[in-house]
Structure 1
């Protein structure tokens, strides 16, 4: 029986690919296979950062990626996000020179875990090669969808969307923070286990009201960010910078306005920030420092202090989680401010036909 084909699954069907690959050495060596697969993909991300000439700060960014991988180690090497993130790094690095290849890589990553769809969207809207990007993405998706349909999994192809819609506000989600403190202070909310998808959720009072708003808010914010990226691109903003900032804005919004707050989501930010830093250096100092702090706090909360939060609603651990969530919101705010700055500063691009046209003096006297 195949998850996502024969039965509905919380992940897209592409998440099955690395799981099958990890079992190549036999089920008794599954974790070894998974570790080796993650290691190979992370090596690919490092090579991409180091070997790309346009990435002026590639070696510093490579050290940042290694540091974040070490800090978030239990998550990087145990979650599907640890597979998709290095693929996103490679895709973003290749975006300026090989947009179709980048789109194909990012589309594969999206079918493994949905979040790279935000990066694909930023790439398609910010790039001049949007036709090639769409064709490559559609081709990858069509191949995967056809395989599932032929295998008899048509009914469960998008089951992961319904699984996300049916869940409540997860304990660690950024906008669950007020509900978390209500639970800590015994003010009408409580922690409830969702056994179907193995998560801990906040229920009651404010948490339920916030949960009902998440999907509409996320949709609205994504549309607004895409519109800003489009305007900046039309006004001639530097497309490489626009892609990095737009991708960070979309990915961070997918974390902030999300019912789910799994600690591995911080790997999403790490991937985009490392690439942004590789091309921009100190100009990305704020998100770089933020992701280092986010990574440290995330690992402290999960797995080190997590049981104290679950069993005793320890206010100290709740304070750490609150700080982490505030930093994530700050990263979103920073990316939105930078995106707005690109929209304001960029000037409409002059068409090539106008640039090549002869200059005629406007003195009021007709040329003879």
Structure 2
């Protein structure tokens, strides 16, 4: 029999082609690098003023941060901070930007693969738009390193679950926030012991190396460094005092804390608020986890429960916190990319809200940050809107988790899930 003619394969849309996506990646990162090097608003302040000093002091042997001197970050944060010194102090900032771009590129490659699905391409384009709207700070903080590590870790949970959990643990030892993914996995997945084993083993190795170097309890100094802080001006709770200052009500002062190296607000009740917020944050995290546990016990599938639970935990760490910084918005990228890959239609709304939050953040920092320090009403309003959107998005995720616990969802994929979003080897499969 003669062979039937093969049907012509339709060409892939331009936006789905890897070359188009990589061109978009290159353009966005070039713009962000140029914005950082322009010096407008000095977005590289922490990199040039703080990270470089830490790197030079460590290399010279003057101090051993996290070993014999308290360190504000977990000890693995020293790895990228020291790596950026490889070409010398004069090129430190440029090397840092190149390093972050490289790590972003690796995560971007993991996301889109050789032949990206429509869902993966959607998530990739959203990530590029998010970075561009967030502005220069998207590359110029230690959080910029943890975000791509977390993105890779979350994506690998589908095909390399142990490696995914390991990478999330390493990211946690750079900046604490990725531990939210580990906690969410413990609640949402029935394979929680595998997650805990990877987390405990990796953490034990890191701590063991530090103890062998003579760190003692200093290895945990990043915990006390955070709890001793006052009310930072970008924290949502600070809005109460910022508005008092903006409206000319006496008794509120914005000042620069020389020890913590951040701007904080002081006024009637700030000491009480600072003392209350740490236990309140713990209680709110516990409440979100209880909702997640309720949903899991009701039969909600792990791949449905994990993304909103993770985003809710990350937003809780941001919104119910006395510490607030523009780079905290970077944390949102990982859970939202996971959601967009798994179910693009269901996550379109939250993703758009996050884009608005990123744009508002860039307006405040770095371009009009001095106006915020002067508590001009317009800047306080913009910051307040950004903080309000944090609470709106948190409420949205809490509602999703509640509904999962009420409807006893047992399907492993949502009606709008992307085909092949999670493989059979996924740690999120039952």
CA drift at 1:155: 3.1
**Stretches of 4+ moved more than 4 A in 1?**
52-56
Q: Distance in 2 between matches of 1:53 and 1:254?
A: 35
CA drift at 1:348: 7.5
Q: Distance in 1 between matches of 2:239 and 2:228?
A: 20
Deviation string 1:274-303 (CA, Å, 9 cap, x unpaired) is 221221112112211111111111010011
- 2:236 is matched with which residue? 174
Q: Distance in 2 between matches of 1:36 and 1:320?
A: 31
Q: Distance in 1 between matches of 2:204 and 2:398?
A: 33
Contact preservation (8 Å) 1:233, 1:239: yes
Q: Distance in 1 between matches of 2:234 and 2:136?
A: 17
Q: Which has the higher helix share?
A: 1
Contact preservation (8 Å) 1:99, 1:129: no
Aligned residues: 348
- 1:355 is matched with which residue? none
- 1:80 is matched with which residue? 142
Contact preservation (8 Å) 1:5, 1:148: yes
Kindly indicate whether residue 203 of structure 2 is the aligned counterpart of residue 118 of structure 1. no
Contact preservation (8 Å) 1:55, 1:279: no
Q: Distance in 1 between matches of 2:114 and 2:310?
A: 19
5+ residue gaps, structure 1, are 350-368
CA drift at 1:90: 0.9
Q: Distance in 2 between matches of 1:215 and 1:243?
A: 25
- 1:358 is matched with which residue? none
- 2:33 is matched with which residue? none
Q: Distance in 1 between matches of 2:402 and 2:332?
A: 20
Deviation string 1:26-76 (CA, Å, 9 cap, x unpaired) is 333222322222112111222222239997611011011111122223212
CA drift at 1:143: 1.0
Which range is displaced more, 81-90 or 12-21?
A: 12-21
Which range is displaced more, 98-107 or 54-63?
A: 54-63
- 1:281 is matched with which residue? 344
CA drift at 1:191: 0.9
Contact preservation (8 Å) 2:299, 2:405: no
1:55-134 matches, cutoff 5 A: 57-134=119-196
1:1-368 matches, cutoff 5 A: 1-51=63-113, 57-187=119-249, 188-310=251-373, 312-346=374-408
Contact preservation (8 Å) 2:77, 2:142: yes
SS in 2 for 1:112: coil
Q: Distance in 2 between matches of 1:180 and 1:47?
A: 42
Q: Distance in 1 between matches of 2:135 and 2:361?
A: 11
CA drift at 1:323: 0.4
The alignment's TM-score, normalised by the length of structure 1, stands at 0.90
Q: Distance in 2 between matches of 1:313 and 1:35?
A: 31
Q: Distance in 2 between matches of 1:217 and 1:316?
A: 30
Contact preservation (8 Å) 1:277, 1:284: yes
CA drift at 1:271: 2.2
Which range is displaced more, 249-258 or 67-76?
A: 67-76
SS in 2 for 1:24: coil
Q: CA RMSD in A?
A: 1.8
Deviation string 1:99-150 (CA, Å, 9 cap, x unpaired) is 2111101100000000011111111221122111111111110111011111
5+ residue gaps, structure 2, are 1-62, 412-430
SS in 2 for 1:25: coil
